[in-house]
Structures are given as structure tokens and as C-alpha cells.
A and B are shown apart, each in its own frame.
Chain A
Amino acid sequence: MSFNHIVIQNILRDKWTYISYFLSSVFSILVFFFFLITAFHPMMDAINPNSSLGMIMIFCSFIVYIFSFIFIIYSMLAFLKKKTKSLGVFIISGASMKQVQKMVFRENMLIAVVAIITAIVVGLIVSPLFLMIVKNVLQADSFGMYVPVQAIIMTLILFSVLFLIVSKFTTRFIKKEEAVQLLKADVTQEKIIRPTPWKFLLSILVNAVLLLFFKVSPGIIESLGIVYYIILFISLLITIYFVLTQGILFAIRKLQKSTSYYRKTNMLFVSNLQAKGNSHAHIIYLLSILLLAVFVTTSVLYSSYYNVEEDTEAVYPYSFQYISLPDNPIDQEQQDIEFMETTLEQNVGDYDAYQSAFKTDEDRRIGFMSNANFNALGTHQAMTLNDNEYYVVAGNEGRTPSTDTIQDYVDEELQYVGLGEQLILSTGLREVYYVIPDVIYEEINYPEYHVFAYELEEWTEKLDVAEKIESQIMTEPGERLVTSKISLYDTESFIKSIIFFIGFMLSLIFLSAAMSILYFYLQTSMAGEKEKYLGIRKIGLSIKEISSIVTRELSILIFVPFTFAAILLSLVLFSIRDALSPAFFQMTAVGVGIILLLFVLSFFIIRKTYLKKLVE
């Protein structure tokens, strides 16, 4: 009987111990694989890695990989725990520690190899269906089937490395324990939560300092770049961990001191919580993090989808905007305008037309607009300036311009009366527009650009008109600039629907991961719980009382993470409330509500099946 023979027999003859570990490994590899299939899709090449969409993709892959890492470490430790007794038997039968480590390592690697292959095969089988759904959801024909060579190679490499590290790392854990402790693993107590006030305070302090940078010196954050965010992310995770474990410990102590501790099933319930404090806390922690991830992806990504119309309008105020530069031939300009107007008349009928102009210092990208020309544009409130006043309008969305460079261009002293953040023309055309009295405007000696703007009703549905016009009239640098919020909206909606889809997938991934962690946890603790309740039932515990204990325990496992994640989410949303629209809160509330519904449903299902298995 060779060493490898023992390894293989260990696995084959104890399938059920290994199966949950195997399945959770397959699951997390599969999740990552699917994500890579989407991320490496040829269509995604069109997305610039430096754009916000590209950043989201990179960030999401990072999160998914970290998540797989934690998930696999978690399931490996849970699995090792289940095996501790048999490891003890090996040791007292004369196996050296080194041999046991070698055995566990080989078992793990064997499972890992099978799991990676299974996941990739399953992934390849399901991927056409998956991509078909993607195609239909996105209504993008380009999202067809392809052979995800890159995704396969990447999954193979990343997970082989991950398993190698995790296996080496976890087998080191066995060394520390004495054989006696291994043998008694099933009767001795699990680790209870220790009070760690200093670590707790320290982690909160570190976090506070990190967050304070936002307020005090954003410069440091900018210079550190992504490193800062990674540090912040990790420190947040650690803090959440301490808040949860210490909070649970505190709650248990409070409960034990309360007078109702000796009433009915309270004692059994609380002592159960305490005895399994550490593993319960870990589950609650993992679920909270996953749920928080679900909430964030849901609210951020879904709502970005929701706001496309307003966002588009904020950067491109007009359905069509035609800017004629001084070098644009005059008959070309007239021909274009005529074409646009006849096309609009034929296809839409009713539209608003605006004519305006501005002078500009091309080098500094500063625009000057007369009060009359300003009022001639249609998307904002008209106003009247006095002779010595000027008004500033932003030229880029979301960037506050300098308000006093106007003084370099005019002789007399002008009075600043205000700043308009809402754009009057397409974003990025000029840095800033200075609206000045008509008389002063006449004196400014810079080339004048003519503006022709058109606004349609129900413009989001006029894509065909936009296409017709843009096929004839195109931007010619130095001569004319044509922009349309209709076609921008179309492009944006497509990108946003990809983001929406990624968000949807991520939240699905995290949600199912949360559920499977809970499932595996309950499954591994089932045998011990069953034995315990059998013992207590003998001395007179009714099924109803068991049910009340189990109900409370399960609701803690399921709803504490939910509440905690919801509180964290609302804290985050509250701190950035100024940047959010009411629609955002609506979407978030709807998303959280749906997940709550899912949780309540699964709570009842889990409770029913768990109880049934417990007392059968």
C-alpha cells in the first residue's frame, strides 16, 4: 500500500466529507471563470482600460479574485476541521507530522486539480447559454459565443497558484496541535471569541485616520493612488471584523448577565452562541461582507443605469448642436443648417431652434458670450446683467472653473455676480464661458463661433433622426463641431447596460456565495448539532423548543449580516448623499428590498429543512 494509495482511498472512501469542500471550490472557480469569460470577451476590447468602465472591470476582477481566495481558504479550513480526528488517528498510528502534512497537501492538490478541471468543463458547457443570456439582456449582437482561451489559461494559472499557496499554508496549521487535541477535536470546545479591546481600538483608529485624509488632505490620497484605496479597503475589512466579533461577544455577555438567561430555552440558545462564537462570528462576518458587496454593486451599478438620461443631458444639453467655426465656409454652414431643419421638419415636425454665438481665446480655451447670446440659448434661465457685471458658466461637467480670468481681457473692472454649474453647450468645448454685457462683448477682439442648437421632444426615441443627420453632417475639426445627445444617449445606454449586467452578475455571485457559505456551514455542523439535540430531547426538550432555539440561531446567522450590511450601506450613502440623486436612493431601496425578500424566503426554507434533518 503506497502513500498515494492512502491518499486516494482517503478521498474515495470518505466522499461526503470531501464533497462539500470540492463543491465550494468548484463554485468559486466557476464564478471567477464566468467573470473572466465576460471580461475577456472580444467586444470588451473596445473599452478603454482607463475609462470608468475599464476601471470598474479591473476593480471587479480584483474583488472576485479576493473573494475566491477567502472563500477557498475558508472552505479548506472548515474541511480540515472536519478531518482533525482522523488526522489524530494517523498520528497515533505512527505517521510523522511531515507525512500527515504531505498527505493533507496531496489530498488538497488532488481535489484542487479535479475541481479546476470540473469548473472549466462545466463553465465551457454552460458558457454558450450564459453568453446567449448576456446577448439578449444587452441586446448586443456582438456579444456572441467565442472560445475563451484567455479565460481558461488565466483560471488554470491563478487557481493552481492559489491552491498551492493555500494548501501549503493550511497544512502548516496542523503542526501546532498535539495529537491528543486532534483526537479529541469532536468533544473539546471550539474557540470562543476573546475580548481584544486594543486591536479593536487600533483598527478603528487606523480607519479613522485613513478616512480623515478625505477631508483634511486629499493630496496625499491622490499621490498614493490605488495603493491608498487598497490599504483603506483592507483596513475597513479588518475593522468590520473586529466590530462584528467584539459586538457579538458583547451581546453574548449582556445576554448571559440578563435575568432571563435561565428562562426557558434562553440558556441553551445563548450558550450555543457562545460555544460556537468564533465560527458563528466568521460566518456572520463573511456574509456581511458579501452582502455589502451585493448592496454596493446593486445600488451603484443599477442606478448608473437608471440615470443615463439625466447624465447625458448634463453633458450634452441639446438634441443637436452645430457649432460653426470662423473657417467654416458660409455656404457650407447654410447648407448644413438647411439640411438639419428640413430633416427635422420632415421627421419630427415640432422642434425648438436656438441661435447664438460666442467669441473665444483658442489658446486658453476661454469663451465669451454676450448677455443677448446667452439668453438666446434655451436650456437655462434668461438673465439681465448690468453694465459692469459678469456671470460665469462652467464648460466641463463636474469641474468648477476659475471665475476671474476675465479681467485679463477687459479694461474696466467687472463685478462677479455668480456661477452657473449647468452646462449651456456640450461639455469640454471650452473650459469656461464668461457672460458679459453686450457692449463689452463687442469690444472683445477674438474669433466668433456660431451656435445652432435644436431641441426635440421625447428625444430619447429619435435615434433614427439623429443617425440620418449625422450621416450627412459630420464634425470637421477647425470648421464645424457637431454633437447630439441622442446618439450619445444610445452609446451611453449600451455601456451602462454592460455595467448593469456586470453589476447584476456580481450581486448574483455574491448572493449565491453567501448562501452557499451558509449552506456548507450548517451542513458541517449538522452532525454535532443532531447528536446534541438528541441528547437533550431525551431529558425532555420538545421539538417546538428545539425549533425556537434553531429559529433564533438561524435568524441571527441570516439577518444580523443583512442588518449590518444595510447599516453600513446607509452610512456610506449618507456620507455621500450630496452627490446622489433621489432616484439612486429609490433604486437602492428597491434592490435592498428584493434581497430582503429573498433572504426571508430562504430563511424559511433553510429553517424548515434544517429542523427536519435535525430531529429526524
Chain B
Amino acid sequence: MSDVLLDVKQLHKEYTGEVNYKALKGIDFQLERNEFVAVMGPSGSGKTTFLNCISTIDNPTNGSITINSKNPYKLNDEKLAKFRRSELGFVFQDFNLVHTLTVEENILLPLTLDAVDVEEMKIRLANIVEFLGIEEIMKKRTFEISGGQKQRAAIARAVIHQPSLLLADEPTGNLDSKSVNSVMTLFQSIHETFNTSILMVTHDAYVASFAERVIFMQDGLLYNEIHRSENKQQFYQEIMDTLTFLGGGHHEF
């Protein structure tokens, strides 16, 4: 097996409607196995469309996407759903927890859909819950817990089936700075402990500085990328500089 987990070639996405709009204009991108990449860019640069195409939620107009040497767009709906819950994990800005389920049931959802043995479920649940430190909210319903807790629950759901690729769309967008810190630390430790590859879209330079590589998008194209050096502080500064150059990050006082 090659070391490339995700291979994106000439990805195009065009929204047709009264006014046609090209969201992605040909993106080539590769994600190595066990790599943590952040995608940044100003609003409307196509970040989320890019992520949605990779997460198989949105259909690309042109180009190819290969995840773990499989092309998800050649699968039918049922196989695609199976693919999503075995290969991919999702964390969204608005959490996307099912409000009719308890936190525990939400976390178990991907396993129940795969009809995993109940004993096996319990073991995996115990592991992940301990890892995330969310024992006390397991029996609660989703509207009874805070934003940070919701995101932890969503992360637990995203990684309980040990996906090869974890996709995150602005995972900290709805959180306060304390929760941002703990959620990002969590991402980092998942990345390190489970060797999970992570692709994360964010507009926050601080959040992006947790990644190993940051790619920048503008007008539907890849613009630039920077790799993390030893110094996180310096990495943050580089990210800020690039953002300023793109015309979004820095504020004049």
C-alpha cells in the first residue's frame, strides 16, 4: 500500500443554477497516511466545498478522489454509506448530533448501523469515553450539554469505528476559547494515539497551528502551503503572514 491516503486530482465543482458558479477550479492534493492537515482561506474560497467533496457529501463536477485506493463516487448509495462509516469520521461545526438519542447512543450510532456485537460495542465505547473524559454526560440528551461537550461527543462518534481519515469542518467554530484549546488538544492526541489522518477546515490561525501542514485556498484553487517547523509559535506567525497576504487574517488597529 502506498503512503498516500487521500489523492485528489483536478477536482472541479461547479454549481449550476440561475448563475453558474465555479467553487473549485481544479485542485490537486495528496494527504499522506498519518498526516494532520489544515485547510485555510477566506470566506468563499471553496474550503467547505472541497471538504464536502472529499467527505462524499457533495458530488464533484470533474476530477477524481481516491481514499485508501478506493473511489467512493463509484459506489452506490448503500455501499457509499458503508464506506463513510468505515473509512471516514466526521466532525462538524454544528455538531450534527441526533437529538432524539442520548450522548451514548449517538456515539454508538455508527457501530449499531454496522451491527457490531454488543459486547464489542461496550469495549470500544469504554475505551473512547475514557480517552475523551466524557463519562458523566453519557446518559444525557444532546440539548442538555454544553457546546464543548457536544463537540467531544461528536468526536467520540467520529472515531469510535477507527476511521482512516477524520474530516473536520470548522470544528471549533461554535466554541469558546477554552473549549477550542481542549478540543484541539484532543484532535492532536487522537492523531498521535490512533495514527488517524486528519483533514480540517478552519479559519482560525491558532487552530490551524495544531496541524503539521496548512494549505491555503483562494478562489477555488490551492494557493500555497506551509509545513510546521519545530516551533509552534513561529508556525502560527507564518500562518498569520500568509493570511494577511491573502487579505483576511490580520487586522489593522
Given contacts A263-B115, A543-B77, contact A271 B101 (CB under 8 A): yes
The answer to the question of A542 belonging to the interface, with a C-beta cut-off of 8 Å to chain B, is yes
Judge whether B113 and A545 touch: CB under 8 Å.
yes
User: Which one, B86, B102, B108, B143, contacts A188 given CB within 8 A?
Assistant: B143
Judge whether B99 and A268 touch: CB under 8 Å.
no
List of A residues within 8 angstroms of B121 by Cβ: 262
**Complex CA–CA separation, A542 to B110 (angstroms):** 12
Main secondary structure of the interface of B (DSSP, over half): helix
The answer to the question of A539 belonging to the interface, with a C-beta cut-off of 8 Å to chain B, is yes
Stretch in A368-376, A396-404, A503-511, A530-538 with 4+ CB within 8 Å of B: A530-538
Q: Chain B: which residue is nearest A187 at the CB level?
A: B143
User: Which one, B99, B105, B110, B158, contacts A532 given CB within 8 A?
Assistant: B99
Judge whether B98 and A544 touch: CB under 8 Å.
no
Q: Min CB distance, B107 to chain A, in Å?
A: 11
Q: Min CB distance, A543 to chain B, in Å?
A: 5
Q: Min CB distance, B234 to chain A, in Å?
A: 36
The answer to the question of A555 belonging to the interface, with a C-beta cut-off of 8 Å to chain B, is no
List of A residues within 8 angstroms of B108 by Cβ: 262, 267
List of B residues within 8 angstroms of A275 by Cβ: 99-100
The answer to the question of A609 belonging to the interface, with a C-beta cut-off of 8 Å to chain B, is no
The answer to the question of B9 belonging to the interface, with a C-beta cut-off of 8 Å to chain A, is no
Q: Min CB distance, B104 to chain A, in Å?
A: 10
Q: Chain B: which residue is nearest A541 at the CB level?
A: B81
Judge whether A268 and B96 touch: CB under 8 Å.
no
Judge whether A540 and B85 touch: CB under 8 Å.
yes
The answer to the question of B213 belonging to the interface, with a C-beta cut-off of 8 Å to chain A, is no
Judge whether A539 and B96 touch: CB under 8 Å.
yes
**Complex CA–CA separation, A272 to B99 (angstroms):** 9
The answer to the question of B157 belonging to the interface, with a C-beta cut-off of 8 Å to chain A, is yes
Given contacts A267-B105, A536-B109, A542-B82, contact A189 B141 (CB under 8 A): yes
Q: Min CB distance, B34 to chain A, in Å?
A: 22
Judge whether B84 and A539 touch: CB under 8 Å.
yes
The answer to the question of B92 belonging to the interface, with a C-beta cut-off of 8 Å to chain A, is yes
The answer to the question of A342 belonging to the interface, with a C-beta cut-off of 8 Å to chain B, is no
The answer to the question of A274 belonging to the interface, with a C-beta cut-off of 8 Å to chain B, is yes
The answer to the question of B80 belonging to the interface, with a C-beta cut-off of 8 Å to chain A, is yes
The answer to the question of A304 belonging to the interface, with a C-beta cut-off of 8 Å to chain B, is no
Interface size on A, residues (CB 8 A): 29
Given contacts A264-B113, A267-B109, contact A272 B81 (CB under 8 A): no
Judge whether B99 and A540 touch: CB under 8 Å.
no
Judge whether A536 and B98 touch: CB under 8 Å.
yes
Judge whether A540 and B118 touch: CB under 8 Å.
no
List of B residues within 8 angstroms of A545 by Cβ: 78, 81, 113
The answer to the question of B88 belonging to the interface, with a C-beta cut-off of 8 Å to chain A, is yes
Q: Chain A: which residue is nearest B169 at the CB level?
A: A538
User: Which one, A188, A259, A268, A542, contacts B81 given CB within 8 A?
Assistant: A542
**Complex CA–CA separation, A373 to B109 (angstroms):** 86
**Complex CA–CA separation, A562 to B80 (angstroms):** 37
Q: Min CB distance, A84 to chain B, in Å?
A: 15
Contact string, B86-126, partner A, CB cutoff 8 A, digits 1/0? 10101010001111111001001111110100100100000
The answer to the question of B57 belonging to the interface, with a C-beta cut-off of 8 Å to chain A, is yes
List of A residues within 8 angstroms of B141 by Cβ: 189
Contact string, B68-85, partner A, CB cutoff 8 A, digits 1/0? 000000000110111111
Judge whether A267 and B112 touch: CB under 8 Å.
yes
**Complex CA–CA separation, A542 to B80 (angstroms):** 7
Q: Min CB distance, B36 to chain A, in Å?
A: 21
Judge whether A538 and B90 touch: CB under 8 Å.
yes
Given contacts A259-B118, A262-B108, A540-B113, contact A268 B78 (CB under 8 A): no
Q: Chain A: which residue is nearest B102 at the CB level?
A: A271
Beyond A537-B81, A539-B109, 6 additional contacts (C-beta under 8 Å) are: A264-B113, A267-B109, A271-B105, A537-B57, A539-B158, A544-B78
Residues of B that sit less than 8 Å from A by CB: 55, 57, 77-78, 80-86, 88, 90, 92, 96-102, 105, 108-113, 115, 118, 121, 141, 143, 157-158
